[in-house]
Every structure is written in C-alpha cells, then in structure tokens.
Structure 1
C-alpha cells in the first residue's frame, strides 16, 4: 500500500492507537524507575529528581524498543533472504535510501542505540560524530559502532544538537573537527543526519538554524522526521490531528523523551537558511498523511561557497 493512500477504516483506527502502545511501554519504565528509587530510600526522588529519573527511564525504554525493532527486522530478513531495506515497512522504509547517500564528515543527531549504523558503513564517510544527550544509551551506541566496524570512525558525544553543547563536545574529542567553526564560524560537516530527532530538540527554530551554520558549503541535511499532521490538506487527516493533540495532553512528551507530535518541522527546516539566501535545493516528500505520525523525508542542500 502506498504511504499516501489511507488504509481501510479499521486499520486506520488501529493505527491511531499505535502511539498509545508506545506510551504505555514508556510509562511502565518510568514507574519502574520511580519505584526502584523509592525502595532504595530516595523517597522524594520522583519529585526532586524528576529529570534524572525520566532520562534513565527513557534510556531503558529506548533500548528495549530498539532491540525489539532490530530483532523483528532481522527475523523478517532471515526468513526471506531479501535485502534488509526491502523488508522494512512504514516509516522505517524511508531511512535506508536516504542515509546510504551520506558522505564526508557526518554529524548524527540523536543516534539513540545506533540502529541506523549499518547504513553508515560507506567508505565515502570519513568520520561520524554521534550527538546523543541520553548518557544511558552510550554503552549500547559504542558497542554498536564496534560491531559494525566503525569503532575508529564513530565518536560518541554527550550533548544535544544546540551549538552551545555541540561545539564544546566536538572540541573535547581532540580531532580538530571544530577548528574551522571556532576560527571563522565556518562549516564543519559535509552531512548532517536528522532521523526522528527534531521532534524532541529544545528550541527547534534556533537548533535548525545552528545546524545549517554547521554545514559546509554544498553540505547536505538528510531528514526523516515525523511532523504535525497536515490536516488542512487533501492528504491530511483531521482525526489524526485530533489524536496528536490528545496524546500530547496525556503526557506523550513527558514519557517519550520530550518528543512533540505536533511540530511544524518542515517549516523550521525551510526557514533555517533564510538569513543566508535560502537553501540551494530542498527535496522533501510527505508520507503517511492519514496517520498521527506523518513523515517528511528528503535532502536539503546548502549553497556552495
């Protein structure tokens, strides 16, 4: 079925409930972490250390979720002996053809446990910097880099996407990758990857502008992101947009790592280059407009020097 064609009503309705399953799973880890803290004598931790407990719970949730997804993909691939990307369905199918075009010095924003790392083994990639703010995922991320033969190329950074965090973290690697930026504000990366991450970065408008500034002339931003439902358009869904609002009210962002379902990520990305005359080219496609998790996917290219 085309990602643009809405499924039958019954399937569409079940699709509206899929985020509830994710949220229930994330909630269970949060309550588990809170319970452990209380039992260990930290009775007030759920009130006084909410941020720490949320981070720990989200780390556990994401490891479990990512592991389950990898096992499902591996099982499907083994059963059919077809190429991995042919077996992927839904939004996951948007990622392989995009990431396999990455080259040069790469910034991987919010890589999580590194589930997309098998797509980054191209010899055209010289170095990868993974900016992952959740320290609970770093062990898995480093292990994945070693398993994929990227141990010497992949640098794990404990930071978010904001320049105020990212530049010091790059400097700490000792690779000199941030020298050009520190010297004259020049670009650092040939490719920046944003896969299911801009939904959760703080101050998205500022972050997208800063990511733009970190691209070298001619550099490319590769994007696969879920966005606010385009319910006012023919391909959008009013019901799915209402579902997004309900999930947000029920605490989606709190339990799912500050993820926001209803961000106009495409608008922010397009505006990121306004101060520099705009992008050289923008090729973004929309998919799953009938869903509470519709996607944009494609490439934005910075003007050459």
Structure 2
C-alpha cells in the first residue's frame, strides 16, 4: 500500500513538472492571437494591493501597471520556477507564494483587487475558492476574471461535458464545462462588466464585492 501511495506521489510530481514545461509552448499560439490582448484589457483595472490566484508561469506579471504590489499564489512549484523570469520583467513588485487557493494564507479584507485568469477550470473546489476570494477582498474591492467556461450552445456544451473526463487527465485537472459566473454571483459579487469571446467559450468579468 505504501509503495502504491509513493508511486502515485511520484507520478503526480512528474505530471506537475511536465505540465509546467509544456504549458507556455502549447498556449503560445492562442496567447499571441487572442488571450494576451484579453489579459491586457482586464488587467488595466487592477490597482492597489493585488492577489493573483494561480500565477502559473507568470504570464500576467509584465502586464501589471497601476498596482502597489502583486502577491501571486501557485500550488505547482515547477510553475513558480518558470515564473521567476517574468517576475523580474514586471514593472511592479511581485511576490511568489506556493499555496492552494482553497485556503488563502491572508487575513480578511487584505486586498484591493483579485485577479483570476484561466485558473478556476482546474482548482479542486471552485466554490471554496470564490468564498476565500470574498473573504480576503476589501469592501468594494474588484474581482477580475478571465476564464474559459461552459458554452451557451447546448450541443457544444454537451461536447464539453463529454470531453472533460479525458481532458482533465492530460491538462492538469482542467474542466471544460465549469460556469464560475454562477458562483461569483451566488456569493454576492456584483458583476459590473461582462465580455464574451469565441462564441461564449471565454468570458471576461469585472465584479465588485
């Protein structure tokens, strides 16, 4: 039994390392054509003390401008290693912390802005993450979200549902069929801006606590 558990741990670490190594290469064409422009439009609204959920390889870091400081949490240590180059390229201070988003290591009402980009698809408990974001965000603070989501067209949404089990295995737990917007509203955030891209596959949200 111990050997089985140890084997699972080794496999998990290996997958985490592999995901960190290929993520930027796989995403590069989409980033160049679409996503980087969407990130820039959203992140210009980040201000004050900022928390980034799932900093990944740090692709957002050079895009921050009018911020006091950005604290980026990321559970994958190999992603954090990759992000150090972009941390040094940033024009605002970036602090890296290895942590999961389901239990944030911060006091209540600590941040002015929280940024989540292409992360909620793969967290273990999306509901808990949204609750934690509300806890650490200041009154009237901003939640900035860019996510791929369950599509509005029923046939395409059904296809996403069918593909998700296999996709999770190869994409570090990524779900194709989640709808974070419902939870954001459920937990009392007021969505003040909503933009949809690629036939509603991607949504960009600005919400206030």
TM-score by length of 2: 0.88
Q: In the TM superposition, what are the counterparts of 1:197-276 in structure 2 within 5 Å?
A: 197-232=119-154, 238=155, 240-249=156-165, 251-273=166-188
- Aligned with residue 116 of structure 1, among 51, 60, 72: 60
Bigger Cα Rg: 1
Distance 2:181 2:23 in 1: 25
Residue 193 (structure 1) aligns with:
115
Q: 1:299 to 1:204 in 2, by over 3 A?
A: same
1:286 aligns with 2:172: no
CA RMSD of aligned residues (A): 2.5
1:104 aligns with 2:48: yes
Distance 1:257 1:247 in 2: 14
Number of aligned residue pairs: give it.
207
**1:46, CA displacement in angstroms?**
5.9
**1:246, CA displacement in angstroms?**
3.3
Structure 2 unaligned residues grouped into runs of 5+ = none
Q: Counterpart of 1:252 in 2: which secondary structure?
A: helix
Structure 1 segments, 4+ long, off by >6 Å, are none
Distance 1:91 1:154 in 2: 21
- Aligned with residue 98 of structure 2, among 158, 161, 166: 158
- Structure with the bigger percentage of strand: 2
TM-score by length of 1: 0.62
- Structure with the bigger percentage of helix: 1
**1:215, CA displacement in angstroms?**
0.6
Structure 1 unaligned residues grouped into runs of 5+ = 1-41, 74-87, 168-177, 233-237, 274-278
